[in-house]
Amino acid sequence: MKNMIAILLFLILPISSIALLFIDDSNTQRKLILNGLLILNAVVYLFPIGYAYFLTPKGGNMWDENGPGAVLWLYMILLPLCVIAQVVLFILKIVNKT
């Protein structure tokens, strides 16, 4: 149960990005730009975990700080930045919805 809560907290940002993609906007160009920024924010947020997972050698430990797992320290910077960007994009989507 404790692990499920951690997984859900970790996935809130990408899931909210997907949900925000469906908010309608009358200005097509603005909608494309905001949706692109939402997708970019989610990709940047998920990059360190994907990098550590896919570049870990077979039988290795993706959390090892002497290998690809060292990139996971980027979350100290990325987490607040991506959350702030997500809040700003959320406000822009809500203010500009039709």
pLDDT at position 98? 65
pLDDT digits (tens, 9 = 90+) for 33-87: 999 999 999 999 999 999 999 988 888 888 888 888 889 899 999 999 999 999 9
24: CB partners within 8 A, 6+ apart: 31, 97, 98
> What's the rounded Cα separation, in Å, for the pair 21 and 15?
10
Count CB neighbours of 38 within 10 A.
Answer: 25
* Alpha carbons 52 and 73: distance in angstroms, whole number: 11
The pLDDT score that the predictor gives to residue 38 is: 95
Distance CA 65, CA 72 (A): 8
